[in-house]
Amino acid sequence: MPSPSPTLDLLSAKLAHGERLSPDDGLFLYQDAPLEWLKERASEKRIAKHGNEAYFNRNIHFEPTNICIYACKFCAFYRPPKAANDPESGAWDYSFEDLEAKLAQYPVGSITEIHITGGVHPDRGVEYGEALCAFIKKLRPEIHVKAFTAVEIAYFAKKSGIEIPEALARLKAAGLDSIPGGGAEIFDPEVRKRIAGGKSPAHTWLDVHAMVHAAGLFSNATMLYGHVEKFEHRIDHMLRLRDLQDKTGGFKSFIPLRYRNDANALSHLAEVRPEDDLRNYAVARLFLDNIPHLKAYWAMLGLDLATEALEYGVDDLDGTVDDTTRIYSMAGGPSHPTASVLILEDAIRSKGRTPVERDSQYAKLG
C-alpha cells in the first residue's frame, strides 16, 4: 500500500515520534512547507540534540595551491596547470616554508586546527600529502590536521600507483587526523557533469569517505547548492549521505555550501535568496537525521546570515578561519574572512545561544 502524500500534520507527527523522513517528505519540505514551520521544527530537533549550545573552534585555513587538473564551472579559485609559470595568471603554489611562516603567526595554544584543501595538482601523489602532514606535526604536534578532500586523496593514490586504503594509511601515519567534506558538490551524475565535468564521480567521493571511516578517521560532508540543481537532487544527495552514515557513523558535520557566482563559468546564474539558504538548513536538519552537527560556514555565507541560520537548525559556525581561505572570497564571498573568538561568541549570544569552543571532534574545550 503506498504511503500517504506528505502534509504538515503528517510530518509534524513523524518528527514528534522520531520517525525518519522519506525522500517525498523531504521534497515536500522544500516545495511546500512554510518557512516559519520549518524554523520551529528544525529548532526543536537542534535543541533535542544540542540543547542551547552552539559551537565554534579556533582554526586557520591553508590552501597550498590553486593549480588544478579540473576546471569546474562553479569554481573561481582554480588555475590550469599551464598557468603555473604565468605571473599574471593568479596561480599560486605555496612552499612548506610559506606554511611555516604562517603557523609562526599563531602562538602555541592559539589555534587547535588547520584546514587544508586546494587544487588537485597534476604532479602530486601521496608522498606530498605525507610530507605536508609530517611537516605540520613536527612543527606543531598539538594542531589537528584536517586535510585533503576525497577528490585530492583519490588523485594522490592514482598518481602514486597505490590503492586508496594504502594512501590513507600512509597519510594517517604521517599525521592526518581527519578529512574535510569538500568535493561532494552534487552527487546526481547529470548535474555533476554539467558543473564539474571530469571530477571524480559521486561514488568515488562516497567510497573514499567510507574508507576514511574504516581507517579510524572521521570526516565531514558538504553539498554545493543554488546553481543548476533541483530540490530532488538535493534530497538525493542527502539520502546518499544518510545511507553511508547509517553504515559507518563517521561523519561529524554536514555543511551546505552556497554557490557564489562571481568570476566563474556559471556567473550568469543568480544566487539564491537568504530565505532559500535558511530553508535549506532547516530541511537538512530534519532530513539528515543521523549526522549530529549542522554547520553554517560563515566565510561562505557572511557572518550575519550564518548567525541567522542558528535559528534554523544550525549548531556550529565553523571557526576563526583567518584570511588564508580564498575559495569563496574569489567567488564573491566575504573578503579576507577572519573572526575573533569574541566576534563568534557575540554572534552566538545574539541568538540567545551559549557559545561553546570545541575541538575538531566536538569535544568541549574550556
Provide the CATH number for the domain around residue 220: 3.20.20.70
Max Cα distance, the chain (Å) = 65
- Flag whether 7 is in a domain: no
pLDDT digits (tens, 9 = 90+) for 305-326: 999 999 999 999 999 987 554 4
Q: Give the burial string for 162-196 (b: 16+ CB within 10 Å, else e).
A: eebeebbbbbbebbbbbbbbbbbbbbbeebbebbb
* Domain extent for 101: 21-357
CA dihedral 298, 303, 309, 315 (to 10 degrees): 60
| CB-based contacts of 183, cutoff 8 Å, min separation 6 | 149, 150, 151, 152, 199, 200, 205, 222
Cβ neighbours, 10 Å, residue 239: 17
- Asked if residue 13 is part of any domain, the answer here is no
Share of the chain above pLDDT 70, in %: 95
Residue 270 lies in a domain: yes
- Statement: residue 15 has pLDDT above 60: yes
Tell me the backbone φ, ψ of residue 59, rounded to 5 degrees. Answer: -135, 165
Cα-based angle 171, 114, 170 (whole degrees, multiple of 5): 5
Q: How many Å apart are CA 168 and CA 174, to the nearest integer?
A: 10
Determine the pLDDT at residue 323: 54
Answer whether residue 107 is part of any domain. yes
Indicate the pLDDT class of residue 188, thresholds 50, 70 and 90: very high
Q: Look up residue 316 and give its three cell numbers.
A: 556550529
Condensed to tens digits (0 to 9), the pLDDT of residues 77-125 reads 788 888 888 887 888 899 999 999 999 999 999 999 999 999 999 999 9
Domain-embedded: residue 251: yes
Q: How many domains would you assign to the chain?
A: 1
In a domain, 5, yes or no: no
The answer as to whether 362 is a domain residue is no
User: For residue 8, is it within any domain?
Assistant: no
